[in-house]
């Protein structure tokens, strides 16, 4: 069965520092992978998705993620954190197009000035 | 109008009451999903439906039921609400094709007292 593990329930960085949020997946087939962001008291917003094209995926707000099959990972990065990036981030996987997304437990990103 | 509309946005109900959360979509998608979000647990799949005649249990279906009244409508019911069903509930849709996209509603915040 597919599953997602997000390492670190809480990550704190300084403004301007590198953001690295970790996601490892378990899937019996090549997966589709997603990162979503949830700002306080809001719904989910898609940051980026991997759909078996380029392994380095660029998303919105300066975020990107790299699919590494050998490491079963899809870590999210941003070179320079901004205060507005403070939010909760979810990694999700689906094994087939249009099937149910399975989510990780989320990582809360805090950004300090 | 939003592509995926959830009603109500907020609801407080008493233990033992029956409550229905409604979801409607204008995306024309075949597939619809209900998730609940709890702090530290991410989003967990409650039920999903691939078409009007197809209903499937997700990870945490106990205490919930669903109805797919039409392609565009998918309702979630709590037959006898209990306090640990207090959560944020999301409806989502996806296409059965290769577009690999999911659309989420804004969520319903349910409090059971």
Residue B23: CB atoms within 10 Å? 25
CA distance A113 to chain B (A): 25
Q: What is the pLDDT of residues B51-68, one digit of tens each?
A: 999 999 999 999 999 999
pLDDT given at position A15: 98
Q: Check if A34 contacts B (Cβ < 8 Å).
A: yes
Which phi and psi angles does B99 have, rounded to 5°?
A: -70, -20
Q: Would you say B57 and B33 are in contact if contact means Cβ atoms under 8 Å apart?
A: no
Measured between beta carbons, which residues in chain B are less than 8 angstroms from residue A9? Answer: 40
Q: How far apart are CA B23 and CA B69, in angstroms?
A: 10
pLDDT tens digits, one per residue of B11-45:
999 999 999 999 999 999 999 999 999 989 999 99
β-strand A10-14 against A107-112: which pairing, if any? parallel
- The alpha carbon dihedral of A69, A73, A74, A75 has a sign of negative
The pLDDT averaged over each successive group of 10 residues in chain A (113 residues) is: 91 98 88 92 91 88 94 96 97 84 96 96
pLDDT of residue B1: 66
pLDDT tops 70 at residue B8: yes
Q: Is the pLDDT of residue B99 over 70?
A: no
Query: Rounded CA gap, A29 and B46, in Å?
Result: 23
The pLDDT of residue B14? 97
Q: What is the pLDDT of residue B98?
A: 59
CA distance B13 to chain A (A): 20
Judged by CB atoms closer than 8 Å, whether chains meet at A103 and B31 is answered as: no
Q: Is A40 on the interface with B (CB under 8 A)?
A: no
Tell me which residue of A17, A101, A9 sits closest to B43, measured CA to CA: A101
Rounded distance between C-alpha atoms, residue A96 and residue A31, angstroms:
7
Nearest chain B residue to A96 by CA distance is: B100
The verdict on A74 touching B (C-beta cutoff 8 Å) is: no
Strand residues in chain A grouped as ranges (E): 3-7, 10-14, 19-26, 32-38, 44-50, 56-58, 64-68, 73-78, 87-94, 102-103, 107-112
C-beta separation of B2 from B99 below 8 A: no
Q: Which residues contact B73 (CB under 8 A, 6 or more apart)?
A: B22, B23, B24, B25
Q: What is the pLDDT of residue A83?
A: 97
Model confidence at B92, pLDDT cuts 50, 70, 90, reads very high
pLDDT for B48 equals 96
Instruction: Answer whether A22 touches B (CB < 8 Å).
Output: no
pLDDT value at position A10?
Answer: 97
Residue among A100, A102, A94 nearest B92 (CA): A100
Question: pLDDT at position B71, please?
Answer: 94
Structural contact between residues A63 and A80, judged by C-beta atoms closer than 8 angstroms: no
| A89 token code pair | 């981030």
Compare all CA atoms of chain B with the CA of A91 and give the residue at the minimum distance: B42
- Give residue B97's pLDDT band: very low, low, confident or very high (50, 70, 90): low
pLDDT at A96: 78
Query: CB-based contact (8 Å) between A46 and chain B?
Result: yes
The answer to whether A64 and A54 are in contact (CB under 8 A) is no
Do residue A97 and residue B98 have CB atoms under 8 angstroms apart? yes
């Amino acid at each position: 069965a597919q599953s997602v593990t997000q390492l670190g329930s809480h990550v704190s960085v300084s403004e301007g520092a590198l953001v690295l949020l970790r996601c490892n997946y378990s899937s019996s087939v090549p997966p589709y992978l997603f990162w979503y962001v949830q700002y306080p008291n809001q719904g989910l917003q898609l940051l980026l998705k991997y759909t078996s094209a380029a392994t380095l995926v660029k998303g919105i707000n300066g975020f990107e993620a790299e699919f590494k099959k050998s490491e079963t990972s899809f870590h999210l990065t941003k070179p320079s954190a901004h205060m507005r990036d403070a939010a909760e981030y979810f990694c999700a996987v689906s094994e087939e197009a249009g099937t149910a997304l399975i989510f990780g437990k989320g990582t809360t990103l805090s950004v300090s000035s | 109008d939003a592509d995926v509309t959830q009603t109500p946005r907020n609801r407080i109900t008493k233990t033992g009451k029956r409550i229905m959360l409604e979801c409607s979509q204008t995306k024309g998608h075949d597939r619809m999903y209900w998730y609940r979000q709890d702090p530290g647990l991410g989003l967990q799949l409650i039920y999903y439906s691939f078409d009007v005649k197809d209903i499937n249990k997700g990870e945490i279906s106990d205490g919930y039921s669903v109805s797919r009244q039409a392609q565009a409508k998918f309702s979630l019911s709590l037959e006898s609400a209990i306090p640990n069903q207090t959560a944020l509930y999301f409806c989502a849709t996806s296409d059965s094709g290769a577009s690999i996209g999911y659309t989420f509603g804004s969520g319903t915040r349910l409090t059971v007292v």
